[in-house]
Amino acid sequence: MSESRRTLVDLLALERIDRSLYRHHNPEVGERRLFGGQVAAQALQAAANTVEADHAVNSLHAYFLRPGRYGVPIVFTVDRIRDGSSFTTRRVVATQDREAILNLDASFHAVEDGGDYEPPSPLGSVPDPDGLGGDKQRWGSHHQLLDARPVEVPGEDPAVGTRWIRIADTLGDDPVAHACGIAFFSDTGPLGTSRRAIGGPEGTASRESMMTASLDHCVWFHRPARADEWLYYRIEPVACGGARGLARGGIWSRDGHLVASVAQEGLLRWRHD
């Protein structure tokens, strides 16, 4: 596959080196910093590759430790923390040149019956994605893997980020691939939401005036969902201070169900050069 046209399926196709060791060759794409959503999704896939029980992804918690680089292979070492009848737990360390760039804990849960609750759907005032234009933002090389439609909601706080989003290519029917797809695009937006909360959409906290980076990223998967079908992603700021910003988000299916929750703390450091 050419470097100019990648798919998420290609990114999730990890080479098995050993029983708990995987690698992705991570070709050069002409950018300096590796997209965090890519390495988080790949680490989740590596964890899932070692789960033999019929357990679905229920959560992940990732720490971004160093900036990753394109053009350098990524090795994923999986620690099989626990294999239980209800829950399976994995810890993954992603490294480049023998230096850790990400730690990820993932939990997998057997399907069980239980009570249901979800907050009211925000989709009543949201236009359908089919009537919206494509996203004009450029997030980087990973943008080609995504189809995104920004949404303007009347009366919404300008710092809040709202968009319809999906993986641009068909992922097949493996639920793990769809969980990885949601993990992939969940890293698009939280940093911008925190930055807008500090300076507003036209304020002082512009992309040029601040250095930003994902630090701590969590996703909870509430219901199965297809990442290659339209999902509504709403992100709001929680708190900013000490050169860090926390944002939280909800990912909703087109029929109004909350399928995942996201929380991310990111670095918001003023540039002084």
User: Among 38, 45, 186, 264, which one carries the catalytic annotation?
Assistant: 264
Axis crossing angle, helix 175-186 with helix 36-49, rounded to the nearest 10: 160
Catalytic residue among 38, 141, 186, 214: 214
Q: How many CA atoms lie within 13 A of 202 on its CB side?
A: 0
For 93-141, give the DSSP string.
EEEETTEEEEEEEEEEEE--------PPPSGGGS--GGGSPPP-----G
264 is catalytic: yes
Active site residue 253: no
Beta bridge partners of 221: 260
Letter string b/e over residues 250-273, b meaning 16 or more CB atoms within 10 A of that residue's CB? bbbbbeeebbbbbbbbbbbeeeee
Judged on CB neighbours under 10 Å (0-12, 13-18, 19+), 202 is exposed
Which of 168, 151, 156 is CA-nearest to residue 252?
A: 151
130 is catalytic: no
Nearest to 75 by CA among 32, 46, 38, 37: 46
Name the burial class of residue 47, with classes exposed (0-12), middle (13-18) and buried (19+) by CB atoms within 10 angstroms of its CB. Answer: buried
Given 96, 187, 228, 253, which residue is catalytic? 187
DSSP-derived 3-state class of residue 48: helix
- Residue 59: helix, strand or coil by DSSP? strand
Residue owning tokens 């990820």: 104
Q: How many CB atoms lie within 10 A of CB 1?
A: 10
Residues with catalytic roles: 187, 214, 264
